[in-house]
A and B are shown apart, each in its own frame.
Chain A
Amino acid sequence: MSSPAKNKDKRATSPWISIKNDLIAYAFMAPYLFLFVVFLLLPAIVGVYASFTKWGIIGQPKWVGLKNYNKLINSDIFIESLQNTLYFVVLAAIPLIVLGLLLALLVNQKLRGRNIARAIVFLPHVVSVAAVGIIFQWILERSSGLLNYYLGLLGVNPPINWLGDPDSAMPAIAITTIWWTVNGNMIIYLAGLQDIPEDLYEAAKIDGAGRWQELRYVTIPMLMPVNAFVIPLTVIACWRVFGQVFVMTRGGPQGSTFTVAQFIYETAFVNFNMGLASAAGVILMLITLSFTVIQLRAMKVI
């Protein structure tokens, strides 16, 4: 955040006036802070606490120490859900970042109709995951689906059983996710591109840089601050994948798309094992946090 307000309150010399000033500030913030504490901060703390307890849908929580974590580490289903989610992160996050940048570079060119292209790519942003999931179930359908028809024209035979085959189900979910959410990264990169001062390109041109050298030595380095938040946010969002899986496969076939969020959903809201689900939530949080820290370290942001 930038510097605090510059209009130093000159009257705030006496401690009483300064206390009054504090009170006014907190009075303004009170409604939001109430929502924030009750529906965000407190639940986060209780969520961590719950992970050390046995807690059903009714009754009191019972402290069990690290038992839930122990159970998770020894649970094949949970470990598999971690592996599946990691696989999804690799499949989806990298294209979301790279393609997001490429699309931004494309619509940043002086091309006729680029605003229309940008709007079309952005359109899925306003569609709910439920609608996206069912549209892609139909497009990815094995025998009458659109994708297999056109792949067939390109010589892909026999048709791929996208959502029915354990090998192709996660890639299918990743394709859906990329179509649905790459637009966010595109818009962020586009804003980043438009913030790069024109003089840098002029200077590069004077030094005899070609298009690729411009990209390599001006555009990419200047986008580093943008990367510093695009990459963590994309990776966190991928670790949390839920809706697409819930709508399209419910974790199947043969558990091949069963993700951590799916595990949390079933453990907490189907089997009502709140303590175990909370422990899985804490592990998910630790994974995303440590990834963010490592990545920002590597980029020398922190």
Chain B
Amino acid sequence: MSDSWRKESVYRDGSLNYGRLALYAIMIFVAIVWGAPFIWMFVTSIKPDTEVFSYPPTWWPDEPTLEFYTRLFDSFPMLLWFRNSLIVATITTALTLATNILAAYPLARMRFRGRKIVLLIILSTFLLPGEILLVPLFLGMIKFKLANTYFSIAVPAAANAFGVFLMTQFFLTIPVELEEAGRLDGCSRFGLLWRIFIPLSKPVIATVAIFTFVRSWNDFFWPLIISNTDATRTVPVGLAVFVGRGLSMRFGVIMASAAAATIPAVIFFLLLQRYFVRGISTTGLQG
């Protein structure tokens, strides 16, 4: 404790260490720049109508009010959009986990013909800009009368290869001896996966689950084009297309909508921070 305190302190040998002081100043500046937009969004959303455009800007309203939230939920089907986002993200996440775990097992632990080619094709899609897929997927969904369904929004996202990659890498690190022992006990391949690999891979499974969920929750381009009814529209699309559109003088309501969409995500993040960090730092993929 005392040692770490000395390392972190701006004093060294009893005198001020200007280098460290500067680092602290920069760090505080960084925290303000990245934190202020959130606070500003929230503060604007609880201001009374008269105070939104007050100049100079005020960082706390004289009379905080939830009026904008009332107006938001009265004018837009926010709760319905929330429900849709939740359903879509859950379908994508469940499908991703089930298929990726199964696919990662042979890729990491079995020798079979075509293994290298399968891996190469899957990994090469990391470099594929998704725009090329939009037209065929859109026409396909229209053709099979699947536009405006949860299926059409949720399922294509589960084809993403990042989870397979991450889980394959993790499965490779599980000791072979455990697998051999399981096999001597008469476990089938599926039994090995179920009883040995999955229990040992909980952290990476959680990482993939959380990552996929957030990616799906925030996905924008594809839901924007494939759903045009409130019955399936997700939160980001609802915000961008309705709440935020050409309503330049209604920043209070708009900020209330942004806050309503953001606060659950922020709480989710604060609870599960370490999984995000692990997911990004092991794959370099950012959702």
A interface residues with partner B (beta carbon < 8 Å): 1-2, 4-9, 12, 21-22, 24-26, 28-29, 31-33, 35-36, 38-44, 46-48, 50, 55, 57, 103, 106-107, 109-114, 116-117, 119-131, 133-139, 141, 143-144, 146, 149, 179, 181, 184, 187-188, 190-191, 229-230, 232-233, 236-237, 239-240, 242-243, 246-247, 260-261, 264-265, 268-269, 274, 277-278, 281-282, 284-285, 288-289, 292
Given A47-B135, A134-B239, A111 and B127 contact (CB-CB distance below 8 Å)? no
Q: With a CB–CB cut-off of 8 A, which chain A residues contact B137?
A: 39, 43
Q: Which residues of A contact B266 (CB under 8 A)?
A: 123, 126-127
B240 beta carbon closer than 8 Å to chain A: yes
**Does B257 interact with chain A (Cβ within 8 Å)?**
yes
- The reply to whether the CB of B72 lies closer than 8 angstroms to some CB of chain A is no
Q: Are A133 and B240 in contact (CB under 8 A)?
A: yes
A-side contacts of B35, CB under 8 Å: 120, 123
* A117 adjacent to B31 (CB under 8 Å): yes
For the complex formed, measure the closest distance between the CB of B158 and the CB atoms of chain A, giving whole angstroms.
5
Our count of residue pairs bridging A and B at CB distance below 8 angstroms stands at 315
Contact B30 A36 (CB under 8 A): no
Number of interface residues of B (CB under 8 A): 114
Binding site for A on B (CB under 8 A): 4, 7-8, 20, 23-24, 26-27, 30-31, 33-38, 40-41, 44, 52-53, 55-57, 95, 98-100, 102-103, 105-115, 118-119, 121-123, 125, 127-140, 142, 155-156, 158-161, 164, 168-169, 172, 176, 179-180, 189, 193, 214, 217-218, 220-221, 224-225, 235-237, 239-240, 243-244, 248, 251, 254-255, 257-258, 261-262, 265-266, 268-270, 273, 276-277, 280-282, 284-287
- A36-B161, A43-B136, A123-B38 known, 4 other contacts, Cβ within 8 Å: A29-B103, A38-B159, A264-B131, A288-B129
Give CA–CA (A114, B37) in the complex, Å: 20
Residue of A nearest to B217 (CB): A128
Tell me which residues across on chain B come within 8 A of A55, comparing CB atoms: 135, 139
Residues of chain B lying within 8 A (CB to CB) of residue A134: 239-240, 243-244, 254-255, 257-258
Q: Are B286 and A125 in contact (CB under 8 A)?
A: yes
- For A188, what are the chain B residues with a Cβ–Cβ distance below 8 Å? 280-281, 284
Q: Which of B110, B131, B139 contacts A281 (CB 8 A)?
A: B131
Interface of B is mostly: helix
Please determine whether A111 and B27 come into contact, CB atoms closer than 8 angstroms: yes
With a cutoff of 8 Å between Cβ atoms, the chain A residues found around residue B214 in the complex are: 125-126
Residues of A within 8 A of B100 (CB): 32
Cβ of B31: which chain A residues have Cβ within 8 Å of it?
Answer: 116-117, 120-121
In the complex, the chain A residue whose C-beta lies closest to that of B158 is A35
Contact B217 A138 (CB under 8 A): no
Q: Which of B107, B114, B236 is within 8 Å of A131, CB to CB?
A: B236
